[in-house]
Amino acid sequence: MSDNIVSTIRGFNREYLNRLRIFDTNFNTSFTVTETRLLYEVSLTNNATLKDLCDKLHLDLGYGSRVIKKFVEKGYIIKKADPKDKRTSFLSLSDEGKSVVEEINGVENQRIDELFEQTTPDQKALFSHLLADALNIIAPSSEKVLPVIRTHKPGDLGMITHFHGKYYADNYGYSEVFEALVAKDFSEYILEFDKKKDVFYVVEFQGKVVGSLALQHRSNVSAQLRFFYLDPSLRGKGVGKALMNQVLDFAKRTKYKHLNLWTHKGLDSAHALYKKFGFVQVETKTHSLWKDGIEEQLWEKHFE
């Protein structure tokens, strides 16, 4: 690793720990940093052993034993012998210990609140997302984290419009006219939104908006699929299929008989998805609104 990268990481660590006041003995006089962490880990892991805790925190076994003994004497931790091996004890918090951990959590939360006193909500969210990405790099989760599909909320319209404009400009050379038309159509859709007839699903992954699919009513029996987008990193993982299933379930509950959508030539993966769900191409038209010679396609689906 280059010296610049090492220096940057070490600089962040120093600044972050200083701002959290980790070494400020006036902030929390009850326990050392290590003692606080040991108590907290016991609260997270039911029936942990001393060896488990020391291995996880990279502590000397003798030092860890002395800290645990101190907490047992204070009544914070309960030791229960392993019936299969009397040399091993399981550790858990007493009621008093749980109260102490609640106080510790209050102190730690206060540290974070003070750290972000002068930041905006967007800056807080960005910091959280960046830390989540960083954590995933150095300690990839063994559990499969799935995207969340939810209905829309304020802020989603702008994000999805941005994704459409940037993605189609970068990958297909579309001009800003395309983004402008998406913004116009999207604004009209939200302004005329009828929660009984329309639905706008958003995909969120690790706190970030990464996809969308909307259904807009055209009559009591007909509706149009619109604003389909999915971040390339999530394609081929069943997320598009899940989106389509939810939209079609809504369409069936609303008793629509006919659905349609407009798409563009070249979107092969999207077209394969449409075919899988029973959509058929019925019309094409060529124009040059946002790029010379664009072929738009109309696809339809009829419910029996």
* pLDDT tens by residue, 55-68: 988 999 999 899 99
300, with CB counted inside 10 A (0-12, 13-18, 19+), is middle
8 A C-beta contact, residue 67 and residue 38 = yes
**Weakest-pLDDT range from 10-24, 52-66, 149-163, 196-210:** 10-24
Residue 33: which residues within 8 A CB-CB, separation 6 or more? 22, 23
Tokens of 190: 């939200």
Considering the chain, what is the average pLDDT of its residues?
87
Mean of pLDDT values over 219-229? 94
8 A C-beta contact, residue 28 and residue 36 = yes
What percent of the chain has pLDDT above 90?
41
Most confident residue range from 28-37, 82-91, 173-182: 173-182
Task: Locate the DSSP E strands across the chain.
Answer: 77-82, 85-93, 148-151, 199-205, 208-217, 222-230, 258-264, 280-287, 294-302
Write down the architecture of domain 148-302 according to CATH: 3-Layer(aba) Sandwich (3.40)
* pLDDT tens by residue, 78-90: 988 877 777 788 8
Residue 45 has pLDDT above 90, yes or no: no
Mean of pLDDT values over 180-188? 94
- Name the amino acid, one letter, at 36: T
Domain extents for the chain? 3-118, 148-302
Which pLDDT score, from 0 to 100, does residue 180 have?
95
Residue 228 and residue 139: Cα distance in Å, rounded? Answer: 33
Mean of pLDDT values over 134-154? 74
Give the model's confidence band at 219: pLDDT under 50 very low, under 70 low, under 90 confident, else very high.
very high
Which pLDDT score, from 0 to 100, does residue 21 have?
79
* pLDDT tens by residue, 95-116: 998 998 888 888 888 888 888 8
Task: Quickly count: other Cβ atoms within 10 Å of residue 173's Cβ.
Answer: 11
Dihedral, CA of residue 57, residue 61, residue 67 and residue 71, to nearest 10: 90
Which pLDDT score, from 0 to 100, does residue 126 have?
66
Give the model's confidence band at 299: pLDDT under 50 very low, under 70 low, under 90 confident, else very high.
very high
Mean of pLDDT values over 181-188? 94
Tokens of 185: 């159509």
Mean of pLDDT values over 276-280? 94
Which pLDDT score, from 0 to 100, does residue 103 have?
86
Cα Rg of the chain (Å, integer): 27
For the domain spanning 3-118, the CATH number is: 1.10.10.10
161-167: Cβ within 8 A, 24+ apart: 161/186, 163/209, 163/212, 163/229, 163/231, 164/227, 164/229, 167/229
What percent of the chain has pLDDT above 70?
93
Which pLDDT score, from 0 to 100, does residue 141 have?
62
Residue 29 has pLDDT above 70, yes or no: no
User: In b/e form, how buried is each residue of 281-294, taking b as 16+ CB within 10 angstroms?
Assistant: eeeeeeeeebbeeb
Look up tokens 């200083």; give the residue.
Answer: 18
* pLDDT tens by residue, 239-255: 889 899 989 999 998 99
Which pLDDT score, from 0 to 100, does residue 25 have?
67
Which pLDDT score, from 0 to 100, does residue 26 have?
65
- Half-sphere exposure of residue 192, counting CA atoms within 13 Å on the CB side? 10
Residue 177 has pLDDT above 90, yes or no: yes
Of residues 51 and 3, the one with the higher pLDDT is: 51
Residue 175: which residues within 8 A CB-CB, separation 6 or more? 169, 290, 291
